[in-house]
Structure 1
Amino acid sequence: MRFFFIFLVTLVIFSCKKTKDEYIDVTAETDKIFASTKLIPDDHFLGDNTCKECHSKEYEHWQGSHHDKAMQIANDSTILGDFNNKIFKSQGVTSQFYKEGADYFVNTEGPDGNNHDYKIEYTFGIKPLQQYIVKFPNGHYQCLRTAWDSVKNQWFDLYPDFKVVHSEWLHWSRGGLNWNNMCSDCHSTNVRKNYDLKSHSYDTKYALINVSCEACHGPGKTHVEQARKLGAAYTSQDHLHMTAGTSPKSLVDQCARCHMRREQISEYFNFKGTMLDHYFPQLLGDNLYYPDGQILDEDYVYGSFVQSKMYQNGVTCTNCHDPHSLKLKFDGNNLCAQCHIPSSYDTPKHHFHETGTDGAQCINCHMTGRYYMGNDFRRDHSFRIPRPDQSIKYGTPNACIGCHEDKDNEWAWAEYQKLFGQPNTKHFSDLLAPGLTGHEKGMASLMELAHDTIYPDIARASAVSAMNNYLDSNSIEEMLTFLNDESPLVKAATLDVLGNINVTDYNNYFLPLLKDNKRSVRVKAFFALGALDAMLVPENYKEDYEKVKQEFETNLNITSDFVGGRIKRANYLIKKGDLQGAIKGYESALEIDNINNIVRTNLANLYYRNGQFDRAEDAFKTIIEQEPEFGQTYYSYALLLGELNRIDEAITQMKLAIKYMPVNVRLYYNLCLLYDKVNNLSEAESVAVKGLKVEPNNDSLLYVLAYIYKKGNQIEKAKNIARRLVELYPNNQDYQAFYNQLNRKE
């Protein structure tokens, strides 16, 4: 057996091709973007009262909005919650909210598990809830888990069904509810996080406390100066952003910087370049979305909306929402009737529900939603047709049984077919869902989706990202073509997948992307080139390599207060061959999330690779103690014990792995090999047979069973299994040779 790292894909090595001519040298544009990393001084932001002088109507609409009240200093006029010595209990924690003079306090569980008094420094939001922020040492500001329901006027737990231990990253006093890294960039204007890795401290700054006019339109200093100087001859588009002249898709991208789940790429947002020069969105998958792309975890709208036909056809945020008050422009179906003819759609002939009922509302069929943060209902902006057939296949939700709670998906699908027949168009989810759920044709579906430019870029990029689960030499060869794709999302997703393969075979494909005009693509290309010796960078890329190296370091630094950021640095060091540095990086990740056992598993594997067997074993034991039903740990621990020739102990751990992961046939295969090592052929046979009940045609199990029969001198049984292997896999020469060898023994 060979011990592999969980976080690395199996290496598939073959010769790479020459650099392709299709790549365009955009050095001049790249230089312009490199020069645009300058911080905007706070005094260039003049404040909302200055904007009010000329834009009173817009100011009036904005005043009192969610943007206006995004963050405020805590005082009698801003706090909505009841701090009159109110007691609130949830998940075994008692919190008391009270006042002392003009100040507001809470007594609640802190990071040590004991209750402490904390002063409320800021408020966050207004409706349907208001959160409260307290100050911690080293510049940390934390958002309380207990919030005020401003609709029901009561305290409530943001996660009432989720027990969080004080030592967890998700505890309100730690990373999961830290204002500096989770909230500040979008709730205030001109934010600089200013995180220091060595001291794990912040010196976060902003120009304006809330989401001001200038948070969207950019700093007003030059705008005001030029408007006063030029008068009627002045054109605002020269200095402002998100104006009436902004194109629909550009406007969506500009809103997206705060209305999406994303990774931060640049040190701060300075209105230069595009969204992808500062952030990269989370793609569909990874438990953030259902396999068909519907919202699951919080996605903040962008990731949903760019899936939609609305977005593809030029509909933008402000077609439905007033850009200043943020309210909907029309009530009910009148909002949709701006584009969709009422006589065709707002009728029982289309929706098959009684007029005026909930079922007749467009949004209830095409914009289903979920509750987040306890009481905040948010609608899915992908504007999709309900698909009960996909619910049956992939476990995805649909609007039909969302309302008809007494019915099931089979009923919904039968009714759908009666009313509408079969779906008359192929939605990207017909290809994405099989790939994300491991369907036998999953890779083919993903490849078809990724290639077809008729589908949304985010769906195509998500398909590429999901190919990570299907990698082989053929798929890698085809994936390389996506590095030439017109979509930067697709290029970046391809780099993320291929960049995890720790070889230098594809460097000629990656190098041209150091010149890409999107910073996020360049940064991902640099990571992918991690195994390349800087001294061997071709002369025509040396300057680009050094420039992007600075961008990459910035990306690592700006995300180093997250576990993922620290892991990214560690994985880059692995690519550079610095194993000890990578170990320190993973240990550093555990310092801010000590019970993150995905991190600890990878660290255990690194310890093993570095010959630190005792530390590897201790790490596995810690994981088992914390998560005794996590089968993967028993599997990894068994492999370690097997390598150390502690076979009996390895067998015990592999059995436990099978107990908790009974459908993973790889475990049965490895247990067979362990029994073979101690020459217990009867147990090896029994395990192989059990595994074949899970997956009858698994070639690894069939081969090992035939081998066991051969070793036990049960040649006829061995030949029968070998014959079956050859019939199932006629192109496998090894199986044919094995079968021929058995026949020669007669």
Structure 2
Amino acid sequence: MTVNNFIRIAGIFIFVITTTISCVQQKSQQETTEGFSGSESCIQCHEKFYKLWAPSFHGKAMQPVNAGFVKEYSLPESGFMEIEGKNYEIVYQDSSMVMIEKEGNELLNKYPLQWSLGGKNVFTFLAPIEKGKLQTIPLAYDMNRQTWFNYPESAVRHFTDQEEADEALPWKDRMYTFNTGCYNCHVSQLSSNYDLTTDTYQTTWKEAGINCETCHGPSAEHVRVCMEAGEGNVPDDLKIIVTSTFTPEQHNSSCATCHAKGSPITEKYMPGELYYDHFNLATLDDPDFYPDGRDLGENYTMTGWKMNPCLTESDIHCVTCHTSSGRNRFKDNPNQACISCHTDKEETLTEHTRHLPDSPGSLCVNCHVPSREFVGHFIRSDHSFRPPMPEATIQFGSPNACNQCHTDKTPEWANQIVKMRPNGNYQEETLYWAQLIKEARESKWDRLDEMLEIIRENKINEVVVASFLRLLTNCPNEKKWDTVIQAMKTNESPLVRAAAATTLSGNTSEKVKIALLTAATDDLRLVRVSVANSLSGFPDNRFSPEETQTVAKATEEYMNSLVARPDDWSSHYNKGIFHQNRGEAQKALGSYETAARLYPEALMPLINSSVLYSYVGNQPKAEENLKKALEVDPGNEAASLNLGLLFAEQGRMEEAEQMLLSALNANPKQAVAAYNLSVIVSQRNPDKAIQYARIAAEARPEEPKYAYTLAFYQLENGQKSEAEKTLKKLIADHPLYLNAVSFLADIYTKDNKLKQVETLYEQTLKTEGISPQDKNAIQQILNTIRNSKPKE
């Protein structure tokens, strides 16, 4: 008996590649100014609305930093603040604002502040830097506390279930570039005019702030036909988008283009169109959320809103509670927003809230839509409308409304009070699925059946179901497939169907192919492009001429979706995955290298390209890219693993062992690293070989070769009884893994235990699913054994 050699580096694509569309924070809407007349053209007929809009936070989403701004807000100078080893200070010069950058006493740069963003809670500022970029400077102003603060540090998330802490990005990081990250939700009718070759921008926009035409579309024709009709006359065709006719879903979609953490799949969105025809949405597989769905980072409302039970039980939508200019319709009487549906709570308010009628605790929003501060600065309301869940705070560290008011009390105190209510068990459902989300994030699949049941029953909201489907991408257990296929076929949510389609990537069975081809004509673009990505793993000869046309149409949409944001590195990374799935190595390498050029800090383009470089025989380039990845993130699991395997293939065993140990340290259940370490050390340290092989076998019980290897080293080290025990369990778990049967039979034969050999093979013949060829081979062995017995 022998064990397999090192797992080749080209054999671990699934480990290092994800086909999930990366989430960026804002929408992508490339507009031309043709047909747009600007908000001032609305004043003549809509003066009232104009006056409401102009001073609103939509109207002032972006403002020039000029003498008028300085006079209106009178922000104080900042004083020096040390950031990234340098000193930064905001000062006034000639009625304008300037950021001074110093190293010690040496003046390095002066950055003129050209634009401000926000202002409701925080003002951030933009300064021009190289390549036409407008960069968010590292100092921002807290309007509530009236103080300057370190903006990049404010984005650090306090992960509760991960060993490594989050770190602030450098202030010149691409994620803080206005042209890349936040542009189209602060200005109107923008064209980024991005040049991929030079990585430069010549960005233009029609108007700063979110103007009337952002929601109503181009108005030049509307102005013309209304002027021609004359005063008092209303044209039959207003030549403009009338939002009052929108369905609830259209309202939600129009707002979500800015108020969502998602990723664009088209270059242009027009109000009234559906969100999932133009964007993807972040769900709870994203570590920016606690497992129970509360915000851990800045997530822009929509994901929580989609978890809101009111959406499925009523016609509520964004404009029910907010005006088009972003104001709260019920500011003066917040409870009025809720009692229109929950009339029973109006009469029993004190009994329901357990607070005095005029106290903050009797305001619906304080318990059900609590405002959340991020690192003491950013404020965002939780739009999931769920009641306080202090037990989730105890279990996951997520915030709850009780302790956001009662800061002197503990979650345990709040939980006791909650459980004393008549319906005190209301937390249980959320705690149940949130714990499963947490386990799935950690790749713990012991309760896979329960996760699959949640998907099949579809009783929880679409965000939760889609989250489980996305997390199942990392689950190696094949029992998931039927549930995933069914979700793609029948679930009413396009988010769920798209998540299921993405999870099917890598499965090239005929059943999956048929299901994907059907879904390729789905009504919503997000589903179709997700399907196209998964279909890219099928060779062309698997499709009929008619099917080929279906695939080509979906693929064209998918490829267009990847260039919706050509300045986003993840677009090129995903394009690389597509070409890699198609077997187009050079095109994939080109896309990966573009992604790495745009954002050198991104690890996956470097890691995936290294796998491909090794595959095409360019070992030096593969090593170079992996070392670049480890410079960005020393000890990274995927980079360490791949580099270790690369060294092993080159015979550089000492270096291979070091890197594989690094991968195992990063993930103590890293089966590939443990398996290969067992091979490396087997000659000099059999005990270690057994130890590593056991780690691999226990980490991946669904992969029989790891337990087989463990048995091999146990036998080599004189642990025959342990080897037999390992093989018996392996055969029980994987009866069709005939290598284990042969191995155990070989052990019995050498010990002259022919009766055990005969029994073992007789039991194997009864196993359902054995091929006719294997049956014949086993029968021949049995005949040989029986013929060798002494005749009585």
> TM-score, structure 2 length as denominator?
0.80
503-512 or 635-644, which moves further after superposition?
503-512
- Counterparts of residues 669-680 of structure 1 (less than 5 Å): 669-676=675-682, 678=683, 680=685
Who is 1:150 aligned against? 143
Who is 1:20 aligned against? none
Cα distance in structure 2, aligned partners of 1:50 and 1:92: 49
340-349 or 707-716, which moves further after superposition?
340-349
Who is 1:314 aligned against? 315
Where 1:104 maps in the other structure, the secondary structure is strand
331-340 or 720-729, which moves further after superposition?
720-729
457-466 or 507-516, which moves further after superposition?
507-516
Cα distance in structure 1, aligned partners of 2:647 and 2:107: 40
Deviation at 1:625, TM superposition (A): 4.2
- Counterpart of 2:421 (choices 403, 419, 422) is 419
Who is 1:455 aligned against? 460
- Inter-CA distance 251–6: structure 2 relative to 1 (3 Å threshold): farther
Who is 1:683 aligned against? 688
Who is 2:14 aligned against? 9
1:75 and 2:40 aligned: no
Where 1:419 maps in the other structure, the secondary structure is coil
- Counterparts of residues 482-631 of structure 1 (less than 5 Å): 482-485=487-490, 486-499=492-505, 506-531=512-537, 538-540=544-546, 548=554, 550-631=556-637
Amino acid at match of 1:457: E
Question: Aligned residues: percent identity?
Answer: 23
Where 2:14 maps in the other structure, the secondary structure is coil
1:190 and 2:192 aligned: no
- Inter-CA distance 258–77: structure 2 relative to 1 (3 Å threshold): same
Amino acid at match of 1:465: R
1:125 and 2:118 aligned: yes
Cα distance in structure 1, aligned partners of 2:585 and 2:517: 25
Cα shift readout 1:226-277 (whole Å, capped 9, x = no counterpart)? 4445576747886444633322222111111111112112222234742223
Cα distance in structure 1, aligned partners of 2:659 and 2:38: 63
Cα shift readout 1:448-467 (whole Å, capped 9, x = no counterpart)? 23333443333322222222
Cα distance in structure 1, aligned partners of 2:469 and 2:64: 45
- Inter-CA distance 314–691: structure 2 relative to 1 (3 Å threshold): same
- Inter-CA distance 93–503: structure 2 relative to 1 (3 Å threshold): farther
Cα distance in structure 2, aligned partners of 1:54 and 1:250: 25
Amino acid at match of 2:636: F
Cα distance in structure 1, aligned partners of 2:81 and 2:259: 31
Who is 2:472 aligned against? 467
Equivalent pair of 1:289/1:296 in contact (CA under 8 Å): yes
Cα distance in structure 2, aligned partners of 1:536 and 1:739: 39
Who is 1:444 aligned against? 449
Cα shift readout 1:34-60 (whole Å, capped 9, x = no counterpart)? xxx998752522222332322233222
- Counterpart of 2:53 (choices 53, 62, 78) is 62
Cα distance in structure 2, aligned partners of 1:274 and 1:582: 32
Who is 2:295 aligned against? 295
- Inter-CA distance 620–73: structure 2 relative to 1 (3 Å threshold): same
Who is 2:383 aligned against? 381
Deviation at 1:664, TM superposition (A): 4.4
413-422 or 712-721, which moves further after superposition?
413-422
Where 2:110 maps in the other structure, the secondary structure is strand
1:180 and 2:185 aligned: no
Who is 2:248 aligned against? 248
697-706 or 303-312, which moves further after superposition?
697-706
Equivalent pair of 2:29/2:267 in contact (CA under 8 Å): no
1:641 and 2:647 aligned: yes
Cα distance in structure 2, aligned partners of 1:256 and 1:236: 30
Where 1:208 maps in the other structure, the secondary structure is strand
Who is 1:159 aligned against? 152
Equivalent pair of 1:195/1:202 in contact (CA under 8 Å): yes
1:719 and 2:724 aligned: yes
Who is 2:212 aligned against? 213
- Counterpart of 2:338 (choices 315, 336, 339) is 336
Deviation at 1:667, TM superposition (A): 4.2
1:201 and 2:203 aligned: no
Equivalent pair of 1:192/1:268 in contact (CA under 8 Å): no
Where 2:67 maps in the other structure, the secondary structure is coil
Cα distance in structure 1, aligned partners of 2:190 and 2:624: 42
Amino acid at match of 2:386: R
Structure 1 segments unaligned to the other structure (5+ residues) = 12-36
Amino acid at match of 2:720: I
Amino acid at match of 2:607: T
Cα distance in structure 1, aligned partners of 2:107 and 2:132: 21
Deviation at 1:434, TM superposition (A): 0.6
Cα distance in structure 1, aligned partners of 2:697 and 2:540: 49
Cα distance in structure 1, aligned partners of 2:30 and 2:547: 27
Equivalent pair of 2:122/2:142 in contact (CA under 8 Å): yes
Cα distance in structure 2, aligned partners of 1:634 and 1:627: 10
Amino acid at match of 2:315: G
Equivalent pair of 2:389/2:427 in contact (CA under 8 Å): no
- Inter-CA distance 695–605: structure 2 relative to 1 (3 Å threshold): closer
Larger Rg: 2
Amino acid at match of 1:449: I
Cα distance in structure 1, aligned partners of 2:113 and 2:562: 32
Deviation at 1:687, TM superposition (A): 4.3
Where 1:191 maps in the other structure, the secondary structure is strand
Deviation at 1:415, TM superposition (A): 4.2
Where 2:253 maps in the other structure, the secondary structure is helix
Cα distance in structure 2, aligned partners of 1:95 and 1:256: 35
- Counterpart of 1:89 (choices 78, 82, 89) is 82
Cα shift readout 1:549-603 (whole Å, capped 9, x = no counterpart)? 5543432223221121110111122123221232232222222222323332223
- Inter-CA distance 453–214: structure 2 relative to 1 (3 Å threshold): same
Cα distance in structure 1, aligned partners of 2:736 and 2:202: 63
Deviation at 1:294, TM superposition (A): 1.8
Deviation at 1:715, TM superposition (A): 1.9
Where 2:141 maps in the other structure, the secondary structure is strand
Q: Count residues with an aligned counterpart.
A: 715
> TM-score, structure 1 length as denominator?
0.84
79-88 or 323-332, which moves further after superposition?
79-88
Where 1:44 maps in the other structure, the secondary structure is coil
Deviation at 1:291, TM superposition (A): 1.8
Amino acid at match of 1:314: D
503-512 or 308-317, which moves further after superposition?
503-512
Deviation at 1:85, TM superposition (A): 8.3
- Inter-CA distance 714–507: structure 2 relative to 1 (3 Å threshold): closer
Who is 2:436 aligned against? 434
Equivalent pair of 2:152/2:170 in contact (CA under 8 Å): no
- Counterpart of 1:44 (choices 12, 35, 42) is 35
- Counterparts of residues 332-371 of structure 1 (less than 5 Å): 332-341=334-343, 343=345, 347-371=349-373
Cα distance in structure 2, aligned partners of 1:215 and 1:333: 30
Who is 1:116 aligned against? 109
Cα shift readout 1:323-342 (whole Å, capped 9, x = no counterpart)? 33513423454443343337
Equivalent pair of 1:159/1:373 in contact (CA under 8 Å): no
Equivalent pair of 1:345/1:351 in contact (CA under 8 Å): no
Aligned-pair Cα RMSD in Å = 3.9
Amino acid at match of 1:217: H
Equivalent pair of 1:70/1:187 in contact (CA under 8 Å): yes
Equivalent pair of 1:157/1:374 in contact (CA under 8 Å): no
- Inter-CA distance 644–325: structure 2 relative to 1 (3 Å threshold): closer
Deviation at 1:104, TM superposition (A): 3.4
Who is 1:259 aligned against? 259
Cα distance in structure 2, aligned partners of 1:38 and 1:422: 46
Cα distance in structure 1, aligned partners of 2:415 and 2:145: 37
